[in-house]
Structures are given as C-alpha cells and as structure tokens.
C-alpha cells in the first residue's frame, strides 16, 4: 500500500486505522515544532535538509553508473549517506556488532538504550548494478569489512541476515534500517515474521520533492523524533511521532 509518494506500507506495517485517524495529526504536531524551531533558531528541519540533498543524490547516481570499482562505489555512496543520516540526527559512524555466534555485522549508525542494549541498527548495502534493486535482496560485501569474514555470511541476502542472524539473537535490536542507493527499508522485529515493513524509494522521493512526503519520511526516520520515545517514559511515548506512527507503544518492553 502506497502512503505518500515513494513510500510503501507493505503488509500493513502500521494499521489502516492509524493511516485514517492519526497520521495527519502526528505529522502536523511535529512539523509545527520544527517550524517553530526554524523561526527561532534558523535550524532547518530534517525534511528540508533531505530535500537539499537532491542534486547530490542524482549526481551520485550518475557517478555510480560510470564507476565500476566496488570500493570506490562504496566510498561514493557512504559520502552521500553520511549527509542523509546526519540530517536525520544520527552519528554516521562505521563500526561492527558482534553477534551471539561471534559473527561480525557492519553498521553505520545506531540507537541504544541507556544500558547499552541495542534498539536500532542502520546497515548499508551496495548494489552492483545500475538497475533499481530491492535492498532486501542485496548482501554484505567483503569490502565493508577490514578483516576476512565467514564466506557464508557474504553469500546470504539481507532478508536472511536479518531473520537468521540479527533478529535471532538473545538481545537483538528492536528495529533495523537497511539502506541502499535505491531505497531505505524500516523493519520492526515484532512485525518481521509477517513481512511487514516500510519502504522508501529515494529516487522518487527526492525527484518529486513533495513536501508532505519529505516531512513524513523525515519524521519516520529521524533519530531525534524517536530516541526519547524509545528510551523515555512510557506515558510520554504517544507525544512523539516516529515510532508512534507504527503503533509500537503497545509492544515496547
């Protein structure tokens, strides 16, 4: 189901009731806060920061169409993603997570609880073609590591990586964001068994420059809009937009 331009609510990642009854109010509240902050401080809201990345995005797509070296392609992609995720208040920092079976997973951003337990991981993926590819069908690449890794980990796609490795841990993150140059996917561990996910088509979102879509994308993915909600008091959860939009309040532990 398409919610807004370039955004797809697959298998009801959040409910039709929320779409019909709550979504617009949640968007409006956050947008009004952003506008007030911009008027008072001059700080652009995340939606405008994302919109400003349009030219660089399509320049990158052109560069990737010509560049064949995987390492250089990854470097070019990371440069743009660092701007994108920083616009959403994440610290774009490449690091590794050690899983229960001692496998290493490369991530580029995260949100954690105060006790260090993971809440959200951002994982990048590099396509080897100019054609748009479902990010779930991509896999990890050896060039994402600074050491040799198990070949088996490189042979599976991200869909299986999330199912069999990440969400299968004793203490997995609640959410995973998968990012490729074509699209970004938001996954919730409690909804993943039913293949429920939220998908953002970067090319369409950035080319159309639709204000409502840019605002919704920023609210759904922005770190500042969800960090306090994820970590803070349960009774205040519904006042924040990002994960309230997915109906997560009833499932938080």
Among 72-81, 126-135, 200-209, name the one with the lowest average pLDDT: 126-135
Does the pLDDT at position 210 exceed 60?
Answer: yes
61-72: average pLDDT: 94
As a residue count, the chain comes to 253
pLDDT band for 1, please (50, 70, 90 cuts).
Answer: low
Of 198, 248, 223, nearest to 4 (Cα)? 198
Domain extents in the chain: 2-248
Which two tokens mark 146? 């600074």
How far from chain centre, in Å, is Cα 177? 4
Say which residues have a Cβ less than 8 Å from residue 89's Cβ, sequence separation at least 6. Answer: 46, 222, 223, 224, 227
| Window from 7-16, 88-97, 98-107 with minimum mean pLDDT | 7-16
Residue with tokens 């959040």: 14
The predicted structure's pLDDT at residue 62: 95
Segment 92-116 mean pLDDT: 92
3-state secondary structure the chain: CEEECCEEEECCCCCHHHHHHCHHHHHHHHHHHHHHHHHHHCCCCHHHHHHCCHHHHHHHHHHHHHCCCHHHHHHHHHHHHHHHHHHCCCCCCCEEEECCCCCEEEECEEEECCCCCEEEEEEECCCCCCCCCCHHHCCCCHHHCCCCCCHHHHHCCHHHHHHHHHCCCCCCCCEEEEECCCEEEEEECCCHHHCCEEEEEHHHHHHHCCHHHHHHHHHHHCHHHHHHHHHCCHHHHHHCCCCHHHCCHHHCC
Read off the pTM. 0.87
Predicted local distance difference test score (pLDDT) of residue 249: 35
pLDDT at position 253: 35
């Amino acid at each position: 189901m398409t919610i807004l331009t370039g955004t797809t609510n697959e298998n009801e990642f959040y409910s039709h009731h929320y779409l019909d009854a709550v979504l617009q109010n949640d968007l409006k509240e956050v947008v009004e806060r952003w506008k007030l902050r911009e008027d008072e401080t001059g700080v652009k809201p995340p939606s405008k920061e994302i919109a400003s990345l349009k030219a660089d995005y399509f320049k990158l797509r052109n560069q990737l169409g010509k560049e064949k070296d995987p390492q250089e392609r990854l470097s070019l992609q990371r440069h743009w993603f660092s701007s994108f995720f920083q616009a959403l208040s994440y610290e774009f920092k490449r690091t590794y997570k050690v899983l229960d079976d001692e496998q290493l997973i490369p991530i580029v951003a995260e949100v954690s609880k105060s006790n260090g337990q993971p809440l959200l991981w951002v994982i990048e993926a590099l396509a080897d073609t100019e054609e748009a590819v479902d990010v779930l069908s991509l896999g990890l690449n050896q060039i994402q590591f600074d050491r040799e890794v198990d070949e088996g980990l490189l042979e599976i796609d991200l869909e299986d990586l999330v199912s069999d490795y990440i969400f299968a841990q004793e203490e997995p993150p609640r959410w995973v964001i998968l990012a490729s140059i074509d699209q970004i996917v938001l996954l919730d561990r409690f909804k993943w068994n039913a293949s429920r996910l939220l998908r953002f088509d970067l090319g369409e979102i950035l080319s159309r420059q639709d204000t409502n879509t840019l605002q919704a994308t920023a609210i759904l993915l922005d770190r500042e809009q969800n960090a306090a909600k994820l970590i803070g008091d349960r009774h205040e959860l519904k006042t924040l937009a990002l994960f309230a939009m997915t109906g997560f309040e009833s499932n938080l532990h």
